[in-house]
Amino acid sequence: MAKGSARKNGKKWYYRFYVEDASGNLVQKECEEKKARAKRKSY
C-alpha cells in the first residue's frame, strides 16, 4: 500500500510519496505540480 501526502506552497502543489526500490527499501519521492491552470478566454 502506498503512502503519500500533498501540500500547497503559494500557488504550487507538492506531492510526496514512498516507493519501493529494487532492493526493497522505501524511498521518499517529492514532485511539484507540472501543469499550469489554463486561463479562460472571455468572449
The reply to whether 15 falls in a domain is yes
Q: What is the pLDDT of residues 1-43, one digit of tens each?
A: 567 888 888 888 899 999 888 998 989 998 888 665 556 666 6
Q: How many CA atoms lie within 13 A of 13 on its CB side?
A: 8
Q: How many domains does the chain have?
A: 1
The reply to whether 39 falls in a domain is no
Confidence at residue 4, expressed as pLDDT on a 0 to 100 scale = 85
The reply to whether 27 falls in a domain is yes
Q: Where in the sequence is the domain holding 5, given as residue range(s)? A: 1-33
The reply to whether 42 falls in a domain is no
Confidence at residue 42, expressed as pLDDT on a 0 to 100 scale = 64
E-assigned strand segments in the chain: 4-9, 12-20, 26-32
The reply to whether 13 falls in a domain is yes
Report yes or no on whether pTM surpasses 0.85. Answer: no
